[in-house]
Structure 1
Amino acid sequence: MIHIEFAPADLVGLRFAHSPLVEVVTSGFALNRPTTFWMYDSWRARVRPRLSGAGLGTLQAVVAAPTCYVPDFLTPVPATARPSLDEELRVVAATPLDRVAAEVDAAWAGHPAPPEIRRFGTDPAAALAELVRQVRRYFELAVAPVWPRLCAAVEGEIAHRALAAAERGPGALLADLHPKLDWDGSALRLGYAKSGHWGLDGHPLALLPAGFAGPVVHTMTEGRTGRALWYPPRGYGRVWDPPERVEPSTALAGLLGPTRAAVLTLLAAPSSTGEVASALGLAPATASHHLTALRDAGLVVGERVGRRLRYLRTGLGEQLAGAGTTVERP
C-alpha cells in the first residue's frame, strides 16, 4: 500500500492538468503491454502499421525499460493546465544532461542496455535531441489522431470533478478517482503491492487524467518538477470506439420515459448533442430537446470544450442513472 499524506493546506493546492507527454508515455505502456491494457486493442491495431519502420528505437527503449521505470524528466509536471507538446518538450530538452544520463541508466539498472540507451552515457546531448525528435514523430503518428477525443474525455473528467467539489466540498476532488485509490480525508492510499509513505513537502499535487492510463494509477511522489498522479478519466473506454447504445434500467425508464432515460444513462461519459443523437438514433433536434429537459431538471449540466458543448450528469443524475446496462454491438 502506498500512502500519500496530506497536510491541511494541501487539499487547497490540488490542481488538474492534461499533459501530452503523459499521454505519450502511457500510450507506450498500452502499446507494449496488451494483456494489461487490453481495452486499447482497436487503437493498437490502427497504430502499429503506422509505427512500423518509423525509426522510434530510442523512444521505445526509454519507455519500455525492463525495470518498468520511465525517467521522470520525460514527464515534467505541467506548469499550466493545458500545456502544448512543444511547451513540454522545451522543458525536457532543457533538462541537465547529467540528470538525463542518470535517470536513463537507472531505468536499465541490472539489465544489458541496447545501443540507444548506452548513447545517453557517451553522448547525452545527441541522445536527448534524438529522443525529443522521436517523441514528436510518435505523437504525430499515434496520439494526434485521437487527441481531440482525449481532450474531450479529460475536459469532461475535470468538469465532473469541479461540479462534485462545488456540491460536496473539496474532498470530492479525490473521492472515487479510481478503484485502487482510497481517500480517507488525510491520505490517498494506493492499493499496489509495493509500499511507501510520502508527503507532498509543500508541493501542490497535480492530478493528470490521461486517456491512455487504462486500469493503472501512476504516481510521481518525488519528482523534481513537483508531485503528480496520473489516472484514467471517467468513461475513457469510449474514447476509442463509437458510442454504444445504452439501455436504461426499467425503473429509470418508468420515471423519465425510455428515451430521456437512455440519454441520461449514455452520459456516463460527457457527450455532445450530436454524439447523443448518433448513439441513440435520434434527430439532433430531438436529442437537444431531451438534453434541455434533463438540464432543467438538474440531472445534467453543459460544459463548453472549445467550440463544442458537452453534457455530463450532475450528482443527482449519477444517482438516478446508476443501474443502466450496456447493449453490446453485434
Structure 2
Amino acid sequence: MIEIEFASTDLLGLRFAHSPMVEVVTSGFELIRPAGFWMYASWRAGVEPRLAGAGLETFLALISGPNCYVPDFLTPVPPTSRPSLDEELQVVAATPLDRVAAEVHAAWAGHRAPPEIRRFGTDPAGGLVELVRQIRRYFELALAPVWPRLRAVVEGEIAGRARAATEHGPQTLLADLHPKLDWDGSALRLASPKSRHWGLDGHPLALLPAGFAGPKVHLMTEAPTGRALWYPPRGYGRLWDQPERVEPSVTLAALLGPTRAAVLTLLAVPGSTGEVASALRLAPATASHHLTILRDAGLLVADRVGRRLRYRRTDLGQQLAGVSDARAGGVSAA
C-alpha cells in the first residue's frame, strides 16, 4: 500500500492539468506493452504503420527500459492547466544534463543498453536534442490526429470534478478517482505491492487525467518540478468508440423535440459537429443548427480544441439528459 498523507491545507493546493508529455509517455507504454491495454487496440492498429521507419529509436528505448522506470524529466509537472507540447518540451530540453544522464542510466541500470541509451553517458546534450526531435515526430504521427478527442474527454473529467467540488467541497476532488485509490479524508491510498508512506511537504499535488493512462495510476512523488498523480478520466474506455446513437427518453423528446433530444443524449461524451452529424445521420448544417439552439438554451457549451469546437453538456444539460443516460447504461465523460 502506498499512502499519501494530506495536511489540512493540502486540499487547497490541488489542481488539474492536461499534459501532452504525459499522453506521449503513457501512449508509448501502450505501444510497447500492449498486454492489458485492449481498449487501445484500434489506435495501435492505425498508428503502428505510420511509426514504422519513423526513426524513434531513442524515445522508444527510453520508455521501454527493463527496470520499468521512465525518467521523471520526460514528464515535468505543468505549471499551467493547458500546456502545449512546445511549452513542455522547452522544460524537457532545459533539464540539467547531469540529471538527464542519471535518470536515463537508472532506466537501464544493470542491463546492456542499446547505443541510443549509451549515448547519454558520453553526449547527454546531443542525446537530449535527438530525444526532443523524436518526441515531436512521435506526437505528430501518433497523437495529433486524436488530440481533439483526448482533450475533450479530459475537459469533461475536469469540468465534472470542478462541479462536484463547488457543490460538495474540495475533498470530493479525490473521491472515486480510480478503483485502486481510496480516499478517507486525510490520506490517499493506492493499492500496490510496494509499501510506502509520504506527505506532500508543502508541494501542491497536480491531478493529471490522461486518456492513455489506461487502467493504471502513476505517481510522481519526488520530481524537482513537483508532485503529480496521473489517472484515467471517466469515459476513457469509450474514447476510441465512434459516437453511438442512444434513443432519448420519451419525456426528453417531448420537451426538446426528438432530434435535439437525441443530440443532447448523444453528448454524454463531448463531440464535434461532424461526430454528431455522423452518429445521427444528419447533414452537418442541420447538426450545427441543433447544437447552436441547445447551446443558446444553456444546455451545452462549446470548447475550442485546435480548429474545432467540441460540445459538452452543462449542469442543466446533464440533469435533463440523466434519464436517457440511465436507460442507456452509459458512462458520462463529464
TM-score by length of 2: 0.85
How far apart are residue 261 of structure 1 and its match? 6.6
The one-letter code of the counterpart of 1:245 is: R
Deviation digits for residues 6-45 of structure 1 (CA, Å, limit 9, x no counterpart): 1111111111111111111011011112222111111111
* Aligned mates of 2:219, 2:321 — CA distance in 1: 28
Alignment RMSD: 2.6
Distance 1:319 1:149, change over 3 A: closer
Distance 1:309 1:51, change over 3 A: closer
How far apart are residue 3 of structure 1 and its match? 1.4
The one-letter code of the counterpart of 1:37 is: F
Equivalent residue, structure 2, for 1:3: 3
The secondary structure found in structure 2 opposite 1:322 is: helix
Conserved in 2, the CA contact under 8 Å of 1:247 and 1:325? Answer: no
Equivalent residue, structure 2, for 1:184: 184
Distance 1:181 1:312, change over 3 A: farther
The secondary structure found in structure 1 opposite 2:207 is: strand
Equivalent residue, structure 1, for 2:57: 57
* Aligned mates of 1:246, 1:200 — CA distance in 2: 44
Match runs of 1:1-330 below 5 Å: 1-247=1-247, 253-257=249-253, 259=258, 263=263, 265-272=265-272, 275-281=275-281, 283-284=286-287, 287-288=290-291, 291=294, 301-302=300-301, 304-306=303-305, 308=309, 310-312=311-313, 314=315, 316=319, 320=323, 321-325=325-329
The secondary structure found in structure 1 opposite 2:208 is: strand
When structure 1 is superposed on structure 2, of 185-194 and 10-19 the one drifting more is 185-194
Q: Percent identity over the alignment?
A: 70
The secondary structure found in structure 2 opposite 1:222 is: strand
* Aligned mates of 1:285, 1:101 — CA distance in 2: 52
| 5+ long unaligned stretches in structure 1 | none
How far apart are residue 301 of structure 1 and its match? 4.9
TM-score by length of 1: 0.86
* Aligned mates of 1:204, 1:318 — CA distance in 2: 36
The one-letter code of the counterpart of 2:92 is: V
Conserved in 2, the CA contact under 8 Å of 1:273 and 1:287? Answer: no
Conserved in 1, the CA contact under 8 Å of 2:18 and 2:208? Answer: yes
| 5+ long unaligned stretches in structure 2 | none
